[in-house]
Structure 1
Amino acid sequence: MTKSMLTLLSAALLFGCSEDGQEPSLGRAAESADAATAEVTQPEESPVASASASGDAEPDLPPSGTPVVDLAGVTHLPAPLGDDVPKLGAVRWHTRIYRTPSREGKVMGFLRAGAVVASRPNATAGPAAKCKEGFIGIEPAGFVCLDDTTRDMQHEVLRAARGPDLTHRLPYMYGTVTRGGPVYARIPTAEQLKEHEPTLKEHLKKWLDDEESGAPYGLDVWLRYTTGRNVPGAAEALRDEVTDEDIPWFLADHRRVPGVARVVTKRGDDAVKVDQVDRRQGRSFTHSFLFEGRRYNVTPDFTVIPADRFRPIRGSSFHGYQVDKELEFPFALIRRSFGWKYRWDGKKMVQAEKAEWRSAHLLTGKQRFYKERLHYETKDGFWLSDRHATRVDPAKRWPKWAQQGAKWIDVNITGQVLVAYEGQKMVYATIVSTGEAGLGDPDDSTATKRGIFRIHTKHVAVTMDSDIVGEEFELRDVPYVQYFEGGYALHGAYWHDSFGRPKSHGCINLAPEDARRLFHWTDPPVPTGWHGAKQSLTGTIVFVHP
């Protein structure tokens, strides 16, 4: 990626967490703190329920049992629903799950188009306001409107959909827009390409020659679901006008995609181009294929976009550590890419060797100041500077919720470290990126809000955007989002690999694999088949501090 593109994406993608157009709190970034805190005394008070809690008692979602993904990153996929289980499929893009059979009831979760869940035939309600077909209960809890669903397991939306891949660090294939272009409701013909992409030849020539974000880069990302055949390179495919044999069935013979995306449903059946992608956008994809030499990608809501308009995104491969399996107290995490291990020669610290970025080091407990910097002795005889490393220790004083055995998350802004606890037992530790304003005022800067909160809403993936002038961006399907206070959330970041330094506009950015593991560890649980869940009073505690 060119330097100018990196600058553009940095400006566009460092965002305060805003779901579906909710305006984030953006402001002038202050300098972020460099020094690490050695130890933090935890508070005793109980956390607030959530910013959105009404005070009304809400039933908990039932425990999910074995998590789909554990803290070791191992996936435990549940068995498919049996033939004898009554099923219901979501055919609308966003189907709400209500606590009671009413559109006015509280929302407890979400289904995405294509999801199939078990229904409860003995839990039904007749026609209601804004729900002509009435409501039906689903497992493990809640009600959905039958207007948004189908019992026909051969419905085109259910057959065409490919759900999120929970076995991978990213639930979909991703790309960021490098060259704006059209969004189609069908595979365009040669004549339609001339109409909607009149400069296509020039565009493809530049794309073929661009080694940093063009044809030579990242083809493996688009081949995630392609197995059992050789795939030609981009230039060869264009030259030979290669067409894959297994083009998605719902796109055969230039037929229109299933009507799920709003940009498709509001157009006529004969529409070809239905939207436009522009720079400062990120998109997710479920299918990728060649047609007459050109590669096209399909979004989860069934729009078709040429792959040559995007830079494929692999996402960071980094992930944190299981403390009880891989580490022991005390230890330090290297949060800077330029960290060093030092030797003490009796008078001064001497650089010995590079400290691998985001590596973990066991400590002896000895500390030494040198040139106004605190240094920690490692068990292998080196010293680490607190300019590069964050020391992680157990709390001096445990909060009440820890004494009661609750799950909770500790986020150290200065140290850029997140630690997950089960009661007083530390179980996971990793490096994060919090708001780039460091310890500034979150009300008028890009700092992360500090305090004690509860996770209240979770999405496997959700769109985040901003319409603030000069900061406009739109990121589809940001992965593993966990809101804990208003628009502030823990979530995976697929667009950068700078974990260890402040980089967001307020949210807590996690490496994708860390986000995946923690998403399935925290409460509220997201039941199998659901795309999201809401539980305002009993979600996992998040303690954010300097």
Structure 2
Amino acid sequence: MRLALRRVLLPLVLLSTGCASDPPPPRPGPVAAPENAGAAVLPARAEPTSGARVAIDAGADAEAPVAKDAKGARPRLGSIGYTTWIVSDKLAKNRIGQVRPGTTIPLRSEAPVELPRRSDHGRCKSGRLYEVEPRGYVCEDDTVTRDLEGPLFRALAFAAPREGARPYDYAFTTRAPMYGKLPTEKEQRRAERRMWPIEKLAKVRRSTDGHEDLDELTPPKPTGPMPDFLAQNPELPLPIGRREGLVRKEIPYGSMLSFSHSFDAGGRTFLLSPDLTLVPADRVRPFRPSSFRGVPIDEAHPLPLGWFRKKPRPRYRRDERGSFVETGEPWAPRTFVGLTGKKVEHDGDLFWETREPGPIYARARDVSIVREPEEMPDVVAPDEKWIDVSLGGGTLTLFEGKRAVYSTLMSPGAGGVTQDPKMKTEELVRAALTPLGRYRIAVKYRATQLTDEATPDPTSFWISDVPWVQYFRNPFAIHAAYWHEDFGSPKSGGCINLSPEDAMHVFGWTEPHVPEGWASVEARRDALGTWIVIRK
């Protein structure tokens, strides 16, 4: 079943389940965009990595000390709720980024700016805004903290994302409670009495839509001791904007969970999610990391080169009669080979000469060729960065002018190669197609939740903490896919799927740059996003 992306332009939420890949069996998911999206989306919450794990408390006295960074040089402001917005001016009208709960952003001064007139408060009801680095303001509201050692911020910081391509561990869920406290055995039995018995979960059907390509039946094991804040109090702190209760909500079958830690409590392993809930490990199927990544284009690996995609492909050599025969040592899926640029036609087949000694040949229909463009796209300046995407070839290549610097495989929409560049967004979404055309990166998120619900706290379906998201045309984005590694083949609901390693590399290379402590950033007129050129 293909993931159907409803065209829903919802304010304040990042929508893109449909981009993620083919749908989970229980419900197809869509994509939607929030306000200020322009050509792309600005979701209500983004889930990024970020700065020092100290912070400040909305209810604290105005004279309370401000959190400092590791060197004590700069004051910092912390987030404890959804959503901490970064705005462009004191009227707080234009949202230009976000701060993730449990992380901090550097301030330009310790004291907030006070707006004297209530009519000037705009979206910031307190009338007090902190000026943040390198630009913009954050309202002093209940999502920020000035308490350096407050239990809520410390817990959120403990569950904050780590450095690297996978900021969290991830799992496919078979339906599970998200506990707001460390439950007793009796509470567990009561909360889970209508769910599948643990011993039968291995028999629950596996998804055939691509969302379980990398998951495993063995539950996650404990990776460390119980967090100190749980050992002292079985009740988990409640982030601003989240619901209370023994079971704060259930994560449905088909949704995907991110978790920072796993530990044993009473003989059962629990997973700590970033929103400070506990999920039983025996009710999820963890995703193993993909090892796939692309290749830098340099003297060791110049263009042209050829990528092999889903299947092993034979190597060929020429015999004494000039015929092409298989060597018996095929190229593995998702590998590449350097090409000399020479082609030979034989018996109706075309072969590329590779740089492997012999010489060794690759059959043209087995490889996706990446080469220097004969002409630059007319929208791109001579030395400007741009991204070339070939839907038919399943490749994504980074260029600086005509010079390629990196190449990899990507997964476009599961509907195949888009034929009409004038297709409307609704048509693309229905057909799970990736749009053709030229676009600039408009909004970037270090990581974010993908859902079709107009809330930062969905209940029906969501994909947690998808890393390295870059929107170029609402609702389409480049992003990591941690649930499959079928890169090079059509797979998504319309977005461009990359491996986490590749997505992180591309994210760091493109503009606009995401400043320290920011979860997301929107392109501006004086800091335009990188061009992406999508062709057949």
TM range (shorter): 0.7 to 0.9
Moved more, 153-162 or 141-150: 153-162
Is 1:502 aligned to 2:490, yes or no?
yes
Q: Aligned partners of 2:475 and 2:345: how far apart in 1?
A: 40
Q: Secondary structure at the match of 2:483?
A: coil
Which structure has more relative contact order (CA 8 Å, sep 6+)? It is: 1
Letter in 2 for 1:298: L
Distance 1:360 1:277, change over 3 A: same
Q: Secondary structure at the match of 1:387?
A: helix
Alignment of 1:30-41 (within 5 A): none
Match among 140, 143, 148 for residue 146 of structure 1: 140
Q: Which residue of 2 aligns with 1:167?
A: 163
Alignment of 1:49-64 (within 5 A): 52=38
Match among 225, 238, 255 for residue 234 of structure 2: 255
Distance 1:81 1:454, change over 3 A: farther
Q: String of CA shifts for 1:5-29, please: whole Å, max 9, x gaps.
A: xxxxx75699999994647779xx9
Q: String of CA shifts for 1:407-448, please: whole Å, max 9, x gaps.
A: 111101111110011233211100110112222355421110
Q: Aligned partners of 1:323 and 1:209: how far apart in 2?
A: 46
Is 1:364 aligned to 2:352, yes or no?
no
Q: Secondary structure at the match of 2:333?
A: coil
Is 1:412 aligned to 2:374, yes or no?
no
Q: Which residue of 2 aligns with 1:235?
A: none
Q: Which residue of 2 aligns with 1:43?
A: none
Letter in 2 for 1:544: I
Q: Secondary structure at the match of 1:437?
A: coil
Q: Which residue of 1 aligns with 2:462?
A: 474
Q: String of CA shifts for 1:257-314, please: whole Å, max 9, x gaps.
A: 22216442xx3xxx21121111110011112111001111111111111111111112
Q: Aligned partners of 2:250 and 2:200: how far apart in 1?
A: 20
Alignment of 1:73-84 (within 5 A): 81-84=70-73
Q: Aligned partners of 2:522 and 2:128: how far apart in 1?
A: 22
Q: String of CA shifts for 1:363-414, please: whole Å, max 9, x gaps.
A: 1211123465432111221211233211111111123565432111110111
The Cα of 1:344 is off from its aligned counterpart by 3.0
Runs of 5+ in structure 2 lacking a partner?
A: 23-35, 41-49, 51-67, 116-120, 207-211, 454-459
Q: Which residue of 2 aligns with 1:423?
A: 401
Distance 1:15 1:412, change over 3 A: farther
Q: Aligned partners of 1:169 and 1:17: how far apart in 2?
A: 29
Q: Secondary structure at the match of 2:375?
A: coil
Q: Secondary structure at the match of 1:426?
A: strand
Q: Aligned partners of 2:364 and 2:105: how far apart in 1?
A: 50
Q: Which residue of 1 aligns with 2:376?
A: 398
Q: Aligned partners of 2:234 and 2:126: how far apart in 1?
A: 30
Q: Aligned partners of 1:154 and 1:182: how far apart in 2?
A: 29
Is 1:432 aligned to 2:386, yes or no?
no
Q: Aligned partners of 1:339 and 1:313: how far apart in 2?
A: 27
Runs of 5+ in structure 1 lacking a partner?
A: 1-9, 30-49, 55-63, 65-78, 227-245
Match among 63, 86, 90 for residue 79 of structure 2: 90
Letter in 1 for 2:133: E
Q: String of CA shifts for 1:504-526, please: whole Å, max 9, x gaps.
A: 11000001100111111111111
Asked whether the equivalents of residues 252 and 461 of structure 2 are also in contact (C-alpha less than 8 Å), the reply is no
Letter in 1 for 2:79: A
Q: Secondary structure at the match of 2:464?
A: strand
Letter in 1 for 2:471: Y
Q: Which residue of 1 aligns with 2:248?
A: 274
Q: Secondary structure at the match of 1:132?
A: coil
Match among 503, 524, 542 for residue 532 of structure 2: 542
Q: Which residue of 1 aligns with 2:314?
A: 340
Asked whether the equivalents of residues 430 and 514 of structure 1 are also in contact (C-alpha less than 8 Å), the reply is yes
Q: Aligned partners of 1:335 and 1:436: how far apart in 2?
A: 15
Is 1:355 aligned to 2:331, yes or no?
yes
Q: String of CA shifts for 1:313-346, please: whole Å, max 9, x gaps.
A: 1231110001026411221121232322122334
Q: Aligned partners of 2:486 and 2:451: how far apart in 1?
A: 21
Give the share of equivalent positions with the same residue, in percent. Answer: 31
Asked whether the equivalents of residues 15 and 507 of structure 1 are also in contact (C-alpha less than 8 Å), the reply is no
The Cα of 1:133 is off from its aligned counterpart by 5.2
Letter in 2 for 1:521: W
Q: Which residue of 1 aligns with 2:472?
A: 484
